[in-house]
Amino acid sequence: MYELKDKLVVVSGASRGIGEASSRALDGAGARVVLIGRTLEDLERVASDLKHDPVILQADLSEPRAGTELGERVIEKVGPVDVLVNNAGIPMRRTPDSLTEEEFDLVFSINVRSLLMLTLALGPGMAERGGGSIINISSIASLRGPVGRVAYAGTKGAVDAMTRALAADWGEQGIRVNAICPGLIATAIWEKDRANVPGLSEQLEDRIALKRWGFGDDIADVVLFFASDASRYMTGEVVAVDGGMAKVNSPSRL
Ligand SMILES: NC(=O)c1ccc[n+]([C@@H]2O[C@H](COP(=O)([O-])OP(=O)(O)OC[C@H]3O[C@@H](n4cnc5c(N)ncnc54)[C@H](OP(=O)(O)O)[C@@H]3O)[C@@H](O)[C@H]2O)c1
């Protein structure tokens, strides 16, 4: 659908789910992909199917300085890059009375701190190459108040705000910064609940205007759009890709 021949792309959280689907799509469009995650065997499974000389870098993005150090390793291994997909993230379902400070720190360390530090480490190299595209994977949790997920929603609200702020800082250098807010995407994050909570899958589906869960590919195609020149006049945008869940009224079928 889009042409990314000779582009160098970094995808965090590339070992499964949305990151895996995005890595496959970006490779399919001709890009060389740097795959990032903690679990080597999963990263190797994805890399084994990619055609354009993929690179694997293992990193735990919850650690202090992990984003900065990972950025330095990327530059050392492949040089400056054209596209960064900040996808690695964890959910944090906790009611206000059960959330601990340690859990708050954990979800912010991965979803916010490392996302920004990796971006700051790779931005200057992008500018040297004449520009680039940064794609932050946020969530519709930032667009509508979800129940029992205050810390997670906070991380994604921060991602949206940082997306707009960096778009302002780096626009002159040709670096575009946009965010995608996935709705309900059937990945490992939802696997247990979908299997174990009776009726949950159907109940949630009923709240989606298009009346189906999303899949990794539904997000990957929009990642491709933002990675490619087709989105060349877009920056600072926060776009829901949710089958019409956050903003569209969805009459119940149940
Ligand atoms: N699925 C949804 O419904 C949904 C909805 C809205 C937003 N999102 C967002 O979309 C993104 C991807 O979600 P997903 O559903 O694809 O999740 P997933 O299937 O659980 O994948 C998460 C990815 O992040 C990596 N990761 C997790 N913790 C990490 C850490 N400490 N250091 C480095 N990598 C880490 C995981 O790899 P390792 O475990 O190997 O490290 C994995 O590759 C997240 O930012 C999530 O918040 C998802």
Q: pLDDT-based confidence at 251, cuts 50/70/90?
A: confident
Rounded to the nearest integer, the mean pLDDT of the chain is 97
User: Which is the closest atom of ligand 1 to the Cα of 20?
Assistant: 43
202 lines ligand 1 (CB under 6 A): no
Q: Is 152 a residue of the active site? A: yes
Average pLDDT, integer, range 24-38: 98
Calculate how far, in angstroms, residue 12's C-alpha sits from the geometric centre of ligand 1: 9
If you take atom 34 of ligand 1, which residue's CA is the nearest one?
37
End-to-end CA distance of the chain: 37
187 lines ligand 1 (CB under 6 A): yes
| Mutation to probe ligand 1, out of 36, 185, 239 (largest number of atoms < 8 A from CB) | 185
Those residues with Cβ within 8 angstroms of residue 210's Cβ, 6 or more apart along the chain or in another chain: 243, 244
pLDDT tens per residue, range 134-165: 999 999 999 999 999 999 999 999 999 999 99
pLDDT score of 241: 98
pLDDT score of 1: 72
Q: What is the CA radius of gyration of the chain?
A: 18
User: Which is the closest atom of ligand 1 to the Cα of 89?
Assistant: 45
pLDDT tens per residue, range 44-78: 999 999 999 999 999 999 999 999 999 999 999 99
What are residue 10's DSSP bridge partners? 34, 84
| Mutation to probe ligand 1, out of 57, 90, 142, 160 (largest number of atoms < 8 A from CB) | 90
CB distance 249 to 214 below 8 Å = no
Average pLDDT, integer, range 163-172: 98
CB distance 34 to 233 below 8 Å = no
pLDDT score of 146: 95
Query: What is the CA 208 to chain-centroid distance, rounded?
Result: 21
pTM for the model: 0.98
62 lines ligand 1 (CB under 6 A): yes
pLDDT score of 192: 87
Q: What's the Cα-to-Cα distance from 42 to each of 36, 57, 89, 191, rounded to whole Å? A: 10, 12, 16, 17
Distance (Å, whole) CA 16 – CA 222? 17
Burial class (CB in 10 A: 0-12, 13-18, 19+), 218: buried
| Mutation to probe ligand 1, out of 16, 35, 92, 109 (largest number of atoms < 8 A from CB) | 16
Domains (range + CATH), the chain: 8-183+215-241 (3.40.50.720)
H helices present in 48-108, as ranges: 66-78, 101-108
pLDDT at 230 over 90: yes
pLDDT score of 168: 98
Q: Which is catalytic among the residues 152, 190, 213, 225?
A: 152
Strands 175-182 and 55-58: unpaired
Number of other CB atoms surrounding residue 50 within 10 Å: 19
User: Which is the closest atom of ligand 1 to the Cα of 43?
Assistant: 40
Amino acid identity at 199: G
Number of other CB atoms surrounding residue 234 within 10 Å: 15
